[in-house]
């Protein structure tokens, strides 16, 4: 029994000795970097337009995942489907996640801004106004970076201020 205790004690000491190493320089304490190329700040769109997102993403060690979140920006950030008082318009939202790898990634997505949204069996036009685009990047260690950009969506009847011609 004494031999078993000695062997277990030596094994425990050996494990603790080798488990504690000084490779702090290998820790990834730096968050990823996002450079959002498109859309430009305060770009204007109408329902039916294609929203092109282009972001250049880098990390010093290893990228892991991304999330794109688009939501209405004029509602105090309720982040849930809300019809306006007349019930004709509804806030549009979009959410996508995916995996990425390596130390550099070019994220490009084309997202169509819908004309209508179905909610509780009722079709609504999308609410005009400011929308926030959030890009969230997580690296393999769990460090996260987020970047937001505001765009404006006009309904056709409002004469949105830009020409498709």
* pLDDT tens digits, one per residue of 48-59: 999 999 999 999
pTM for this predicted structure: 0.73
**How would you classify the pairing of strands 94-99 and 63-72?**
antiparallel
Which tens digit of pLDDT belongs to each residue from 124-158? 999 999 999 999 999 999 999 999 999 999 986 55
CATH number at residue 114: 2.60.40.2550
Edge-to-edge order in the sheet of strand 122-126: 89-90, 122-126, 116-119
Which tens digit of pLDDT belongs to each residue from 8-55? 665 656 565 555 555 544 687 899 999 999 999 889 999 999 999 999
Total number of domains constituting the chain? 1
Residue 36: inside a domain: yes
pLDDT of residue 79: 43
Residue 16: inside a domain: no
Mean predicted lDDT score pLDDT of the chain: 82
- What is the domain range of residue 143? 28-157
């Amino acid at each position: 029994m004494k031999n078993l205790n000695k062997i277990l004690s030596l094994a425990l000491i050996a494990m603790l000795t080798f488990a504690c190493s000084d490779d702090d320089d290998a820790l990834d304490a730096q968050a990823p970097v996002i450079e959002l190329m498109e859309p430009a700040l305060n770009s204007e769109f109408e329902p039916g337009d294609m929203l092109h997102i282009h972001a250049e993403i880098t990390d010093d060690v290893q990228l892991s995942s991304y999330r794109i979140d688009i939501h209405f920006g004029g509602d105090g950030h309720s982040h849930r489907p809300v019809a306006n008082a007349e019930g004709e318009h509804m806030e549009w939202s979009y959410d996508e996640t995916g995996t990425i790898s390596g130390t550099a990634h070019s994220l490009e997505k084309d997202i169509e801004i819908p004309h209508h949204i179905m909610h509780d069996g009722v079709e609504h036009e999308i609410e005009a106004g400011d929308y926030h685009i959030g890009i969230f990047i997580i690296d393999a260690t769990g460090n996260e970076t987020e970047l937001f950009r505001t765009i404006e969506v006009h309904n056709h009847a409002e004469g949105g201020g830009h020409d498709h011609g």
